[in-house]
């Protein structure tokens, strides 16, 4: 089902949510957030349900979307979801999708040929799928005129030739069908440390969730934002930044990065744009007690 894009202006930069999927999930909080207190979800169902948690089923809600960013005449897609028609033997929830993602992108006024830059905050299965599309029997770049920005440590870590994947790994086939075709086409720009895009946008490496996890910092017209990818999967991690997802490769580094970024957002009153939040999708945070943070308000984006 097509979803109407929703936009917000941050200074001179327009940010638009382009939805791929939003709906029920079979994942439980205990699976995705093994660090979380079991009673937390039921105790907080009054505000977590229905945007982030289904209290009746005891499962989490799943949301996949891209952030479309227009800045200084440059059109940028940040993270590309699961993609259509992908073979995912050990992550079946992301296999064989048939979503109207590209129609949703066009509804935002952008065709694949219009995109100048694609940013993958990291190379997990649900952040790179629309990097490519199937053309007959070949996976080809979905955004043929774009440069794809990938933090080099993630490129090296997820390349199965350099780092063989363990049996049953959920990222099976992901590099081969969603990253390697871009490399063959010469469209990838690898970067490390910090990578300025223009005077409003800077990529910064923040390893922990994966070795090459990255954050996009936006500053324009006296306001700002942090696009944090999967450093936050749920608002529960704002209340307790020590709660990792089960997919964090380096738990200690992930916790430190999460605390550092939430503190920066609170100190600067910047919006936080995570990769998978339902509801209004982005929020301002404030410092709370005992090292925790609280949600001050939500972005002016329509709920999903």
For 107-159, the pLDDT digits (tens) are 999 999 999 999 999 999 999 999 999 999 999 999 999 999 999 999 999 99
Backbone angles phi, psi at 107, to 5 degrees: -65, -25
Q: Is residue 1 predicted with pLDDT exceeding 80? A: no
E strands, the chain, are 6-10, 13-24, 53-54, 59-71, 74-78, 117-120, 132-135, 138-141, 147-151, 188-191, 194-196, 201-205, 214-220, 223-229, 271-274, 283-287, 293-298
228 pLDDT band (50/70/90 cuts)?
A: very high
CATH number of 6-298: 3.60.15.10
Among 2-16, 105-119, 185-199, which is the least confidently predicted range? 2-16
pLDDT of residue 289: 85
Residue ranges per domain, the chain?
Answer: 6-298
182 pLDDT band (50/70/90 cuts)?
A: very high
Q: Smallest Cα–Cα separation from 10: which of 73, 65, 66, 70?
A: 70
């Amino acid at each position: 089902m097509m979803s109407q894009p929703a936009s917000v202006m941050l200074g001179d930069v327009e940010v638009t949510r382009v939805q791929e999927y939003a709906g029920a999930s079979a994942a439980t909080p205990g699976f995705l957030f093994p660090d979380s207190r079991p009673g937390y979800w039921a105790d907080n169902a009054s505000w977590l349900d229905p945007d982030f948690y289904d209290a009746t089923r005891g499962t989490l809600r799943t949301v996949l979307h891209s952030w479309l960013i227009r800045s200084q005449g440059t059109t940028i897609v940040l993270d590309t979801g699961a993609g259509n028609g992908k073979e995912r033997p050990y992550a079946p929830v992301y296999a064989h999708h048939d979503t109207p993602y590209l129609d949703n992108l066009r509804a935002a006024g952008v065709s694949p040929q219009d995109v100048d830059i694609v940013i993958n905050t990291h190379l997990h299965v649900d952040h790179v799928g629309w990097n490519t599309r199937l053309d007959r029997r070949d996976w080809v770049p979905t955004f043929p005129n774009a440069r794809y920005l990938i933090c080099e440590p993630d490129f090296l870590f997820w390349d199965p030739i350099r780092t063989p994947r363990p049996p049953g790994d959920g990222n099976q086939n992901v590099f081969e069908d969603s990253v390697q075709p871009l490399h063959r086409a010469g469209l990838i720009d690898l970067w490390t440390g910090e990578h300025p895009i223009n005077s409003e946008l800077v990529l910064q490496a923040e390893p922990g969730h994966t070795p090459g996890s990255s954050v996009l910092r936006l500053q324009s017209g006296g306001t700002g934002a942090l696009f944090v990818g999967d450093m936050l999967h749920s608002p529960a991690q704002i209340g307790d930044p020590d709660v990792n997802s089960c997919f964090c490769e380096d738990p200690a580094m992930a916790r430190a990065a999460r605390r550092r970024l939430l503190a920066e957002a609170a100190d600067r009153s910047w919006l936080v744009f995570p990769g998978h939040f339902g509801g209004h999708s982005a929020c301002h945070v404030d410092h709370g007690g005992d090292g925790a943070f609280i949600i001050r308000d939500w972005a002016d984006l329509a709920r999903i």
